[in-house]
């Protein structure tokens, strides 16, 4: 999946100059509409927010699409290029119809366009929030919402095209309305409410979901958009409070301009500034402004029912609302910080969450992975990594996230020696840790140091175990060779000599009987030595090698051919062994591979009801890979592991290997093990 900044190639058939042309057309029409409104005495003044929508949004869209040609957010913003032609059509219609009395086709077309042109940029903010910054929805479950918004916009445009009566511009009516019924107005109202009442909350919800899941570069980009949205809401609130129209319109326009600027910086220059603290303060200020406005209005409305002293009511309401906002500041700041940065204010909460996660880990390495993942999630960090000093231990990294921020390196010390490093990536370039964050990370470093030390002990134990097993198997191979080629033949030769001696003592029955008893005892000793030799290690391994020994072993098994696929009822087919020429193997690896493969084949033949079983051996890098696959009934996930599977895992672990069993009911079973060719 592409990263947050990955740009898709331009859509087929769309040259790179098209966005610039569309932006130029939109901006040019907006400037023409402004000029026409100023020139015509009866013209309708262009609102500041419409001017921002027609001038700034298309330019930002063109800039984004020039740098990121396939970015869907850029194309959504480019929809605002329709604002210019829409405004120009309105100003031209006012002049042509109301001033010049023109009723020609061009005047009617301009008037009709004025009735529905607004719908083109209706859903821009909602859809942009849904798709920002990756160009994809947060998850497939959001598709119905996006389709609902698109359908509402299409229906709103169609209803506006045919609605009768006066338009939003005074004195103009829809010249091409095919009906005088009012239902198009109702459809338009419902669709408009759907776009605004569904699109805005859903866009905010999508941002919240992405913010909680994001890290690294994507989080920085989302912070920019959240900052723009906070400025927009603040401007809207301020425009509602201020009583002077010019100031109110200016504040609204400034807020409206914040969103495209934030998008442009997020997509093009996301690493230029550290906006984390600004976003936090802006969101808190916006939330408290809403609280203040609601509390003030509610108190005025409530008390106004019982008193006529409006000025005193307003003063009292303002005081109460201010107290409520002051009381809620700290709580709101904590909530917003928790959303953006996790539990950075509460080191104890970080320690508690990390500790509860470690309790479920199966070993030191698993615990380290759980630790870095949980710290990344709880503190909303781009990446956390533990790098052990022991070269046998691989670095443990949380899900990587692309970011330009630097790493903070904390040494990991245990029992007076450095055992590794904790590398924590900052959320944004230039960020500094708070004292509470530093305390939390220091606690995490202490836990990580203990786990790295424990992982080193486990590695030492495993290495010792591997050396013991390797030495045992090599010694068994040497003993088998000595007994098979030395002691065994000598004992057999002595038995033959005793038999000859018994034949020569035919004239002395007592001595002949003694020689016969010694001969029989020697033969029993030879048989016992041979059994001991065979028990030391499978004899076929020394005689035929691993591949030959496996082929000889599986030759005794037969699998039933399914009815209708073979020559007839009762037909059977063998277990197949596929293997290249293998390099010389350590005795321990050779025995482990043989025992695991034979156990897996036996399970497939006896318990799986399989019609096909294949043993595959291959060398992959520094490992010997042994795979036994069958098409049988599979293993029930609820089944308790038996002695066979436990034994196979133990044999693999003894030589430093791993074993995986992949099985689903009705889909067969695959046993795969990787065994290191050389001792580690």
Q: Residue 1's closest CA among 147, 127, 139?
A: 139
SS3 520: helix
In the chain, what's the furthest Cα-to-Cα distance? 153
What integer is the mean pLDDT of 219-230?
74
Sequence length of the chain is 680
pLDDT band at 79; cut points 50, 70, 90: confident
Collapsed DSSP state (helix, strand, coil) of residue 174? coil
Checking if the pLDDT of 383 tops 60, the result is yes
Q: At 564, is the pLDDT very low, low, confident or very high (cuts 50, 70, 90)? A: low
Of 288, 230, 285, 238, nearest in space to 259 by CA: 230
Judged by average pLDDT, the poorest of 157-161, 452-456, 626-630 is 157-161
**Contact predicate 183/138, CB 8 Å:** no
Angle between helices 183-213 and 217-241 in degrees, nearest 10: 130
Q: Which helix (H) or strand (E) holds 548?
A: helix 539-554
Residue 412 scores a pLDDT above 60: yes
pLDDT of residue 659: 92
Q: pLDDT confidence of 533, banded at 50, 70, 90?
A: low
Cα–Cα distance list, 371 to 383, 516, 539, 569, 648 (Å):
12, 74, 48, 58, 30
**Rounded distance, CA 387 to CA 375, Å?**
15
Q: Taking Cα atoms as reference points, which of 627, 629, 610, 609 lies closest to residue 618?
A: 627
Is 431 found in the same domain as 380?
yes
> Lowest-pLDDT range, 262-266, 342-346, 447-451, 540-544?
342-346
User: Which residue is associated with the tokens 């569904």?
Assistant: 198
Q: Contact at 8 Å (CB) between 675 and 658?
A: no
Residue 597: pLDDT over 60: yes
| Any domain includes 219 | no
Residues 438 and 318 in one domain: no
Half-sphere exposure of 535 (CA within 13 A, CB side): 6
Q: Which tokens is 675 given? A: 């065994």
Answer whether residue 578 is part of any domain.
Answer: yes
pLDDT at 430 over 90: no
The domain total for the chain is 5
Q: pLDDT tens, 464-509? A: 877 777 777 777 777 766 666 666 677 777 777 777 777 777 777 7
Q: Are residues 296 and 329 in the same domain?
A: yes
Instruction: State what percent of residues in the chain have pLDDT above 70.
Output: 70
Look at phi and psi of residue 284 and say left if phi exceeds 0, alpha if psi is from -120 to 50, else beta: alpha
Q: Output the pLDDT for position 619.
A: 92
pLDDT confidence band for 672 (50 / 70 / 90): very high
Paired tokens of 96: 């042509």
Q: Does 461 map to a domain?
A: no
From residue 334, give the alpha-carbon distance in Å to each of 319, 329, 345.
24, 9, 8
State the CATH number of the domain containing residue 384.
3.30.450.40
pLDDT at 453 exceeding the cut of 70: yes
Q: Is the pLDDT of residue 11 over 60?
A: no
- Residue 371 three-state SS: helix
CATH number at residue 642: 3.30.565.10
Whether residue 372 is predicted with pLDDT greater than 70 in this model: the reply is yes
289 and 358 both lie in a single domain: no
Alpha-carbon distance of 608 to 669, in angstroms, equals 8
Q: What is the pLDDT of residue 560?
A: 80
CA dihedral 237, 238, 239, 241 (to 10 degrees): 90
Cα 53 to Cα 202: distance, rounded to the nearest angstrom: 22
- Residue 572 β-bridge partners: 560
The answer to whether residue 242 is domain-embedded is: no
CA 574, 575, 577: angle at the middle one, nearest 5? Answer: 125
Whether residue 523 sits in one domain with residue 440: no
> What are 590's two structure tokens?
């050779």
pLDDT class of 605 with cuts at 50, 70, 90: confident
pLDDT at residue 514, as a whole number: 81
389 and 419 Cβ atoms separated by less than 8 Å: yes
Residue 511 shares a structural domain with residue 651: no
Of 427, 456, 485, the residue at which a domain comes to its end is 456
**Which range, 115-119, 145-149, 598-602, is most confident?**
598-602
53 pLDDT above the threshold of 70: yes
Confidence of residue 335 (pLDDT cuts 50, 70, 90): low
**371 burial via Cβ count (<10 Å: 0-12, 13-18, 19+):** buried
Number of helices (H) and strands (E) in the chain: give both, helices first: 20, 11
Look at residues 288, 296, 338 and name the one whose alpha carbon lies nearest to residue 315. 296
Task: Say how far apart CA 113 and CA 161 lie, in whole Å.
Answer: 8
Domain final residue, candidates 322, 340, 358: 340
Nearest to 35, CA basis, from 88, 98, 96:
88
The predicted pLDDT at position 299 comes to 47
Most confident of 125-129, 464-468, 539-543: 539-543
pLDDT at 286 over 70: no
State the Cα–Cα distance between residues 107 and 93, nearest whole angstrom: 6
> Please, which residues have CB within 8 angstroms of residue 225's CB and are 6 or more apart in sequence?
129, 132, 133, 207, 259, 262, 263, 266
* C-alpha to C-alpha distance for 225 and 282, rounded to whole angstroms: 12
How many alpha carbons fall within 13 Å on the CB side of residue 486?
Answer: 6
Q: Of the candidates 543, 669, 649, 536, which has an alpha carbon nearest to the alpha carbon of residue 602?
A: 669
| Per-residue pLDDT at 673 | 94
Query: What confidence score (pLDDT) does residue 59 get?
Result: 81
Closest CA to 453 of 357, 351, 369, 365: 365
Cβ atoms 613, 604 nearer than 8 A: yes
Q: Are residues 47 and 169 in the same domain?
A: yes
Which residues share a beta bridge with 412?
A: 420
Q: Is residue 521 situated within a structural domain?
A: yes
Q: Which two tokens stand for residue 53?
A: 């929508």
Residue 671 has pLDDT above 90, yes or no: yes
The per-residue pLDDT for 101 is: 72
Q: Which residues contact 320 (CB under 8 A, 6 or more apart)?
A: 295, 299
Residue with tokens 């209005």: 297
pLDDT in tens, 170-209: 767 777 777 666 776 677 677 766 666 666 677 777 777 7
Are residues 279 and 147 part of one domain?
Answer: no
Low-confidence winner among 28-37, 38-47, 217-226 (lowest mean pLDDT) = 38-47
Q: How far apart are CA 546 and CA 548, in angstroms?
A: 6
Q: Which of 587, 577, 659 is nearest to 618 (CA)?
A: 577
The dihedral formed by the CA atoms of 223, 229, 230 and 233, expressed in degrees to the nearest 10: -170
pLDDT one-digit tens code per residue, 245-257: 766 777 777 777 7
Among positive and negative, which fits the CA dihedral 347, 348, 353, 358? positive
Mean predicted confidence (pLDDT) in 458-466: 78
Peptide bond before residue 133 is cis, with ω within 30 degrees of 0 = yes
Residue 247 in any domain: the answer is: no
Distance, CA of 25 to CA of 31 (rounded, Å): 10
Q: Is the pLDDT of residue 296 over 50?
A: no
Query: Which comes out higher in pLDDT, residue 25 or 173?
Result: 25
Q: How confident is the model at residue 625 (pLDDT cuts 50, 70, 90)?
A: very high
Among 279-293, 372-386, 507-521, name the one with the lowest average pLDDT: 279-293
What does the pLDDT read at residue 343?
47
The overall average pLDDT reported for the chain is 74
Give CA–CA dist 28/18, Å, rounded: 15
- Mean pLDDT, range 632-658, rounded to an integer: 84
Residue 134 lies in a domain: yes
- C-alpha distances (whole Å) from 599 to each of 574, 659, 668 are 16, 13, 16
288, 360: one domain:
no
**Enclosing domain of residue 447:** 347-456
The string of DSSP codes covering 570-614 is T-EEEPEEE--PPPP--HHHHHHHHHHHHHHHHHHHHHS--S-EE
Distance from C-alpha of 287 to C-alpha of 325, rounded to nearest angstrom = 9
**Claim to verify: residue 22 and residue 160 sit in the same structural domain:** yes
pLDDT above 90 as % of the chain = 5
In a domain, 229, yes or no: no
Residues 440 and 519 in one domain: no
Verify that 669 and 527 share a domain, yes or no. no
| pLDDT for 420 beyond 50 | yes
């Amino acid at each position: 999946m592409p990263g947050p900044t990955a740009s898709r190639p331009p859509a087929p058939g769309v040259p790179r100059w098209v966005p610039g042309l569309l932006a130029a057309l939109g901006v040019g029409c907006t400037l023409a509409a402004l000029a026409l409104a100023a020139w015509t005495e009866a013209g309708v003044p262009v609102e500041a927010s419409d001017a921002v929508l027609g001038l700034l949004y298309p330019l930002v869209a063109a800039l984004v699409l020039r740098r990121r040609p396939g970015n869907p957010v850029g194309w959504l913003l480019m929809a605002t290029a329709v604002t210019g032609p829409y405004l120009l059509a309105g100003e031209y219609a006012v002049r042509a119809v109301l001033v010049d009395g023109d009723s020609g086709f061009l005047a009617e077309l301009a008037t009709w366009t004025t009735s529905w042109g607004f719908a083109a940029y209706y859903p821009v903010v909602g859809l942009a929030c849904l798709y920002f910054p990756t160009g994809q929805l947060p998850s497939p479950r959001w598709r119905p919402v996006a389709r609902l918004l698109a359908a509402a916009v299409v229906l709103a445009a169609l209803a506006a095209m045919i609605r009768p009566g006066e338009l939003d511009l005074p004195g103009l009516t829809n010249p091409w309305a095919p009906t005088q019924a009012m239902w198009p107005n109702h459809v338009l109202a419902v669709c408009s409410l759907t776009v605004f009442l569904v699109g805005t909350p859903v866009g905010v919800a999508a941002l919240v979901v992405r913010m909680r899941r994001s890290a690294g570069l994507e989080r920085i980009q989302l912070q920019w958009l959240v900052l723009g949205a906070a400025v927009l809401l603040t401007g809207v609130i301020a425009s509602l409070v201020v009583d002077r129209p010019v100031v109110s319109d200016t504040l609204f326009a400034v807020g409206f301009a914040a969103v495209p600027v934030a998008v442009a910086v997020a997509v093009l220059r996301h690493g230029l500034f550290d906006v984390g603290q600004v976003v936090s303060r802006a969101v808190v200020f916006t939330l408290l402004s809403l609280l203040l406005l609601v509390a003030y209005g509610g108190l005025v409305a409530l008390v106004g029912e019982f008193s006529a002293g409006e000025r005193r009511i307003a003063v009292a309401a303002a005081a109460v609302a201010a107290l409520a906002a002051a009381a809620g500041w700290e709580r709101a700041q904590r909530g917003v910080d928790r959303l953006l940065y996790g539990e950075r204010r509460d080191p104890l909460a970080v320690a508690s969450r990390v500790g509860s996660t470690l309790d479920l880990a199966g070993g030191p390495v698993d615990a380290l992975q759980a630790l870095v993942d949980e710290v990344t999630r709880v503190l909303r960090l781009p990446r956390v990594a533990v790098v052990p000093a022991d070269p046998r231990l691989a670095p443990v990294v949380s899900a990587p996230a692309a970011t330009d921020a630097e790493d903070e390196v904390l040494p990991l010390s245990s029992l007076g020696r450095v055992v590794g490093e904790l590398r924590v990536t900052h959320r944004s370039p230039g960020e500094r840790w708070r004292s509470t964050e530093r305390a939390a990370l220091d606690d995490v470093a202490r836990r990580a140091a203990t786990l790295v030390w424990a992982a080193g002990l486990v590695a030492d134990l495993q290495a010792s175990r591997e050396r013991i097993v390797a030495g045992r198997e090599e010694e068994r191979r040497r003993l088998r060779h000595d007994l098979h080629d030395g002691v065994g033949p000598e004992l057999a030769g002595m038995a033959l000599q005793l038999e000859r001696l018994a034949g020569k003592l035919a004239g002395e029955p007592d001595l002949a009987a003694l020689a016969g008893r010694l001969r029989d005892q020697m033969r029993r000793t030879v048989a016992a030595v041979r059994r001991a030799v065979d028990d030391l290690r499978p004899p076929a391994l020394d005689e035929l090698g691993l591949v030959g020994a496996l082929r000889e072993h599986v030759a005794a098994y037969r699998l039933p051919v399914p009815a209708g696929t073979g020559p007839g009822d009762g037909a059977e087919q063998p277990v197949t062994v596929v293997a290249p020429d293998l390099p010389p193997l350590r005795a321990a690896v050779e025995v482990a591979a043989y025992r695991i493969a034979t156990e897996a084949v036996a399970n497939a033949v006896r318990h799986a009801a399989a019609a096909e079983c294949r043993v595959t051996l291959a060398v992959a890098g520094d490992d010997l890979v042994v795979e036994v696959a069958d098409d049988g009934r599979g293993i029930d996930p609820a089944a308790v592991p038996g002695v066979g599977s436990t034994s196979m895992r133990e044999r693999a672990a003894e030589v430093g290997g791993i074993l995986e069993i992949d099985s689903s009911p009705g889909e067969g079973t695959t046993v795969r093990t990787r065994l290191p060719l050389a001792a580690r």
